[in-house]
Structure 1
Amino acid sequence: MRRAEIFFLLIAMLMSAAALAAGQVAPAKTTAKAAPVDSLMQKAQSLLQAGKYAEAFTLLEPREFERSGDVAFDYLLGISAVSSGKPDRATIALERVEALYPEYGDVRMYLGMAYYQTGDTARAKQAFAALLAQSKLAPQSKANADQYLAAIQQQEAVKQQEAEKAKQAFFVGNLDLGVGYDSNITTAASNNGSGQPASTGISGNFAQMNGNVEFRKPVFNAGTYGFVMADSTNRAYFAHGKMNAYTNVVKAGMNWAQGVHTYRVDASRRDYRQQGVVQDSNNNSAQNGVSADARFGLSTNDFLALNIQYSMPRFAAVASVPQDTNQITLGTNYMHIFPVAGSPVIYVALTQARDKAMHEIDPIAGSPVTAGIKTNYNRTTNTFIAYSQYTFVPSADVTAMWMTSRRNDSSAYARSATEALPKDEMIVTMLGVNWRPATNWTVKTQYMGLKNNSVVAGYAFKKNEFSVSVKREFK
């Protein structure tokens, strides 16, 4: 309960005690014809005078059906309810009193308190204003009404400020700096397609810098906004400069929230740059795309998301032109947060990407294909991810991830002369520890192992990476 709610609940209790200690259920001058005070009413009034509001409510509440409409009964029932933190029940009883006798006792005062406790400040203001307009009003009642109205005015001012702030544009972002080791920088093939070793590749240390900044302009509230985002990932190898690489992504779109559900659409541009070690070639690529996501809050601890993306990967090097595709990706993911110590998290995701080649190519030399028949790089890739996280101390988490991604070629002999439709499977394992030494700061230690199984020469490889990074978030 908020401090203001506690404070005004205490006022209600003190008012009840003060009025009842004086033996006043209502002012002497009233036109209400209340039923004579009986043993039930006497006991209830005694409990209220003793400050036992919950006991008084428990005593009166079972008799409400048979005695509703009895002004004195409804008045005491309303006082006991509002003073024991049951404002919804108080409004029902006190509204019956006000409907018959608007100036009965301090009915408008208690009714205003009940409305205030339920958060209905508009009706609370009306009740207090009507109370202040009464011809005869005790000084203490006026002071209490003024105090409530001042509190409501302050709350409305704060809400107005928050509403105006929610419409102001703002930035969020992060900067991540780290170092690490890569056991197979060039992802050199681990076999030549026949099970024989082909290359051990090169290994080395690297430094990396990742940065992200997003500009948001709220439209209706903080959860509904347009955005422009820029993200840059850079890696520099200490002894193998030709393998230095960077990826820049720019996105623009719209995010909107409906309760616990969130929806987002965006258009993006992705550029990847790497010289590589092949003479007169490079590993550069670019990709334009559009995507839509929907995230549903199934409960406080369960979330389900659906997404769709259309993208156009394009490869700059002449030798790679045939690999250009148009790609459609469908995906879904689910996350559950266990409401126990450590807040364990499980996350699973499933995606399918369908690539349609933009160019036809000749089959691999030596394949049993009739001369003149063309093939292409059409393919389908299915990916499954399982992720878990456990917060073993408030400032640190352990994380684990396992991913399998299976590529199925759709056109014969595009990559192999012996396998018509070869299949690849990449398996990725990740283990990490995240430590938060201060607000908005994270130190991340991570191991990642990759292995791509393939019968196609040049496609099978494996590598291990170790890294340590420091991340600063800006909000």
Structure 2
Amino acid sequence: MFSTAKNLTKMISASLLVFTCCANAQTDERKYLIKLVEAGLYQDAFELAESLFDQYAGDADFDYLYGLSARQAGKHQEAIFAFERVVMNRPNNLNARYALAVAYYEVDNLVAAKREFENLLKLQPTNKLIAQTERYLSLIQQKSVRLDPVWSGFAGISLGYDSNVNSGLGDELYPIPVAGVGVFELQFPVESDNFSKLSANLAYRYPTAKFNAWFASASASHTQNKQYTDFNKSSLDIIAGYTHRIGALQLRANTFLQSFWYGDEKYHNMMAVMASANFAIDQSDSVQLSGNYSAINNEVNDNLDSNSAMVRLEYIKQLDSGRLTFATAFRDENVKNFNQASQQYERTINSLSINWMHQFESLGLVRLGWQYQLAKHQHLNQIFKDVDGVSPFFTEKRKDNNIIYQIGHEYALAESWRWRTQVRLSRKNSNQFVYSFDRNVVNTGIRYLF
């Protein structure tokens, strides 16, 4: 290992001789900027360069000084942009290209750093610069070994119990109007069932730097009910995207594709674009803003075709051997084909959630979660008509309150084997009784990681 600061300091001193020779043709401010850089007063130099930026940005001499002061002041991205401008204007400038390559290296953009160092060697630099470049290329090679592409995934099987597989209402009798006939007392009984579930995932990550990477994954699952097979569920999810860090900001963008089967038939296809920005406040606290836009094409009912947009704000607290998160989200859902039958599906959803996770030394990983959702439908429900066959049976717009409790436990049986148990309790209360129900789902099983 060798000191990048020492090498760049020598480079700065040599290159400033060139710029000083041109000082007579420059303003007093630019002369002073050269003196500040030469004296090693980089923070002062950067502040002065910032004040001159609008006037001189694009001038190769100024951009080089700006880049040197920005890098030494810890403003790595600003330095990179400045050196890039110099190289664009003066592609054969050895010092600028070397400075750009080093700046890329310091932010772990190894692909770009390697490219610029190799371009530098093509310009036939001095023996000293060749030696420094080759040492950097050696370091990049060593780091690249740790940044090799990674394949990972899992396969699992579990058994479970669903207390309300059909989303039934209970044993009570409910008044349901029949157009032109009258109101009948009907029952919507709750049906419970046992189920088995198969799940698998395959993920690929291609790092381009320490905190930057392309990624992709495919996940599949199938839930097989023992008795009520009409409620079987299967899904195939595909994700592909890129994550990139800029200082304390971790950015992520990806696409999401899903095919979903309900019972024995294809139910819907979904396509979504997602993005998030996580800002690290310090080593243990961060704030994340995320959003997505999705489009659903329902294969069974065209009235369920919809577009939706969601935004979510989350506070994340890293604990000793654990994590605590608080989040709030808003989603707006709109149907693609607005008509009397589909309008009731347009809604907004507000949610609050708290999640806690802790890795116990002997007990394993424990997760606890709580979520509250308030769904407000924007139009009257025209599916249920009153006895006259014209007026809606429910005279108020639908409003659903849903509270979800989740408990999870994961225990390491061996290096690659995990025993997982999950409990989900849902309490849904609606001002339209046909949508109010409770549901408890428990499953436990084994998962193999690779």
With the shorter chain as reference, the TM-score category is 0.5 to 0.7
- The change in CA–CA distance for 1:452 and 1:376 in structure 2 (over 3 A counts) is closer
Q: Aligned pair in 2 of structure 1 residues 199, 227: CA closer, same or farther (>3 Å)?
A: same
**Secondary structure class of the residue paired with 1:403:** strand
Partner of 1:381: 349
Q: Contact between 1:183 and 1:465, CA under 8 Å: does it hold in 2?
A: yes
1:7-22 matched pairs, under 5 angstroms: none
Alpha-carbon distance in structure 2 between the residues aligned to 1:269 and 1:431: 28
Q: Which residue type is aligned with residue 469 of structure 1?
A: G
Separation of aligned partners in 2, 1:193 and 1:258: 58
Matched, 1:292 2:275: yes
Quote how far apart the aligned CAs of 1:395 are.
Answer: 5.3
Q: Which stretch of the first structure deviates more once superposed, 428-437 or 459-468?
A: 428-437
> Paired residue for 1:208?
197
Q: Name the count of aligned residue pairs.
A: 302
Residues 105-127 of structure 1 show CA distances to partners (whole Å, capped at 9, x for unaligned) of xxxxxxxxxxxxxxx9xxxxxxx
The match for 1:322 is 303
Task: Return the alpha-carbon distance in structure 2 between the equivalents of residues 242 and 236 of structure 1.
Answer: 10
Larger strand proportion of the pair: 2
Structure 1 residues 178 and 422, CA gap change in structure 2 (3 angstroms): same
Q: Answer whether contact 1:357 1:376 (CA < 8 A) is retained.
A: no
* 1:345 alignment partner in structure 2: 323
Do residues 390 (structure 1) and 358 (structure 2) align?
yes
Residue 165 of structure 2 is matched in structure 1 by: 185
Quick one: distance in 2 between partners of 1:159 and 1:181? 55
Q: Residue 444 of structure 2 corresponds to which residue in structure 1?
A: 468
Deviations along 1:357-379, whole A, 9 cap, x unmatched? 2122326xxxxxxxxxx945321
Distance 2:144 2:299 in 1: 47
The superposition leaves residues 333-362 of structure 1 with CA deviations (integer Å, 9 ceiling, x where unpaired) of: 1221334xxx45321221111011212232
Q: Aligned residue for 1:418?
A: 394
CA spacing shift, 1:163–1:352, aligned 2, 3 Å: same
User: Does 2:384 align with 1:408?
Assistant: no
Coordinate RMSD, CA, aligned: 3.0
Which of 212, 228, 237 does residue 249 from structure 1 map onto? 237
* CA distance in structure 2 between the aligned counterparts of 1:347 and 1:169, rounded to whole angstroms: 30
SS in 2 for 1:163: helix
Q: Deviations over 1:359-406 (max 9, x none)?
A: 22326xxxxxxxxxx945321011221111233435513321111111
Q: Distance in 1 between matches of 2:187 and 2:324?
A: 39
Match of 1:217 in 2: 206
| Residue 285 (structure 2) aligns with | 302
Separation (CA, whole Å) in 1 of partners of 2:449 and 2:286: 24
CA distance 1:379–1:309, change in 2 (3 Å): same
Q: Give 1:193 deviation, angstroms.
A: 6.4
The offset of 1:207, in angstroms, is: 1.2
For the pair 1:335 / 2:313, whether they are aligned, the reply is no
**Relative to structure 1, is the Cα distance of residues 330 and 467 closer, same or farther in structure 2, using a 3 angstrom cutoff?**
same
Deviations along 1:18-63, one digit per CA (max 9) or x if unpaired, are xxxxxxxxxxxxxxxxxxxxxxxxxxxxxxxxxxxxxxxxxxxxxx
Cα 1:246–1:192 change in 2 (3 A) is farther
- Cα distance, 1:306 vs. partner? 0.8
Q: Which moved more, 1:164-173 or 1:208-217?
A: 164-173
Pairs within 5 Å for 1:444-463: 444-463=420-439
C-alpha contact (below 8 Å) 2:344/2:377 kept by paired residues: no
| CA distance in structure 1 between the aligned counterparts of 2:382 and 2:335, rounded to whole angstroms | 11
Alpha-carbon distance between aligned partners in 2 of 1:469 and 1:305, rounded to the nearest angstrom: 32
Identify if the C-alpha distance between structure 1 residues 194 and 380 changes in structure 2 by more than 3 Å, giving closer, same or farther. farther
Amino acid at match of 2:215: F
Q: Select 1:233's aligned residue among 221, 245, 270.
A: 221
Name the aligned partner's letter for residue 172 of structure 1.
S
Write the distance in 2 (CA, Å) between the matches of 1:420 and 1:383.
22
Q: Give unpaired runs (5+ residues) of structure 1.
A: 5-119, 121-154, 277-281, 364-373
Percent sequence identity over matched residues?
18
Taking the aligned partners of 1:414 and 1:305, their CA distance within structure 2 comes to 39
TM-score by length of 1: 0.58
2:358 and 2:147 mapped to 1: Cα distance?
Answer: 36
Bigger shift: residues 246-255 or 165-174: 165-174
- What secondary structure, in the 3-state scheme, does the structure 2 residue paired with 1:458 have? helix
